[in-house]
A and B are shown apart, each in its own frame.
Chain A
Amino acid sequence: MIFFSSLRAPSDSTPTLEPKQWVARHGDILFRYTLGRVRNPDLAENLVQETFLSALKSLDGFSGNSSERTWLFGILKHKLMDHYRKSGREIPTDDPDSAVDPANALFTQRGHWAVGPVNWSDPEGALESEAFWQILSKCLSNLPKRLQACFQMWEVDGLDTQEVCKELSMTETNLWVSLHRARLKLRGCLESNWFQDTEEK
């Protein structure tokens, strides 16, 4: 690994770090992300500050494979994990909305789709659009809290089965059920807010 990275010729496209610009370039986005997670501005500021300070100490760890921002986000996520480990996540243990099975409204008594999924035109193209990601993010944040937490930890943060089950005090079977419910809702939300009216003729 070290051998190869030391061989790589520097080029214009290799991202470099410019710590002097960090706060100006990434301070706002990192702060807002953290605030959304911890809901406390002082704590968010602290975590972002710690992120920058840790980053300064580990400049050598930057491989240039990702952008400066993605690298900083990675460090911030570790800080958030540490924070969660110390103080716990604010996830309600009792969340009646998460217990409602969305399948009841989406399938008929006999188990057919009440309204089937429509064809999504150009999903790959959607990935290029800022607006699409904002809708996806909004759809995620509109999920019932426990479903959101479970989906986020599993699909976005990459925690393993044991970790998610422990964080949410749920069984593995519960986890599969919750992910299924989250996806039913998330898919429906994306369809009605982005992919609607593109059904193939």
Chain B
Amino acid sequence: MLTCKQASELISQGLDRELQWSERVGLRLHLMMCRPCSRYARQLNFIQSALRQHPERLDEAEALLSPPIPKERQKRLETRISKELRQ
């Protein structure tokens, strides 16, 4: 019988690689009887699919952790791009 600690490892690995038959059976048995681990599995699934389905939301949130672009850099970019657009 798997412990929750072992089950949590398999739950994570099941998101990354194909589990072996024996691992799958052991994990399924454990999940049938263990509510916290079932929650853990659901939550990891949720995190993974959130990141896959909305990568742009994370990108923008990540950007906001850094300070805004300084005015002079913004201006330089502006100048460079409009020069390119005129050509």
Residues of A within 8 A of B (CB): 19-20, 22-24, 27-33, 35-36, 41, 45, 48-49, 52-53, 56, 66-67, 69-70, 73, 103, 107, 110-113, 116-120, 123, 127, 130, 133-134, 136-138, 140-141, 154-156, 175-176, 179-180, 183-184, 186-187, 190-191
A32-B81 in contact (CB<8A): no
Residue with the highest number of chain B CB atoms closer than 10 Å, among A28, A107, A113, A154: A113
- Knowing A111-B6, A116-B39 are in contact, say whether A56-B73 is a contact too (CB < 8 A): no
Contacts of B61 in A (CB 8 A): 130, 133-134, 136-137
State the majority secondary structure of interface residues on B. helix
Contacts of B85 in A (CB 8 A): 19-20, 56
Mask, B43-75, CB within 8 Å of A = 1, is 110111011101111111111111111100110
Contacts of B17 in A (CB 8 A): 176
Q: Choose one: A33, A41, A119, A141; the contact of B73 (CB below 8 Å).
A: A41
Q: How far is the CB of B44 from chain A (nearest CB, A)?
A: 6
A117-B43 in contact (CB<8A): yes
In Å, the complex CA distance between A119 and B42 comes to 10
Q: How far is the CB of A53 from chain B (nearest CB, A)?
A: 6
B81-A107 in contact (CB<8A): no
In Å, the complex CA distance between A35 and B63 comes to 8
Q: How far is the CB of A25 from chain B (nearest CB, A)?
A: 11
Mask, B1-29, CB within 8 Å of A = 1, is 00111101100110111000000000000
Contacts of B55 in A (CB 8 A): 156
B3-A112 in contact (CB<8A): yes
A119-B57 in contact (CB<8A): no
B77-A133 in contact (CB<8A): no
In Å, the complex CA distance between A110 and B2 comes to 11
Q: How far is the CB of B48 from chain A (nearest CB, A)?
A: 7
Contacts of B80 in A (CB 8 A): 49, 52-53
Q: How far is the CB of B58 from chain A (nearest CB, A)?
A: 6
Contacts of B47 in A (CB 8 A): 183, 186-187, 190
Q: Can you name the residue of chain A whose Cβ is closest to the Cβ of B55?
A: A156
A183-B44 in contact (CB<8A): yes
Q: Choose one: B51, B52, B66; the contact of A33 (CB below 8 Å).
A: B66
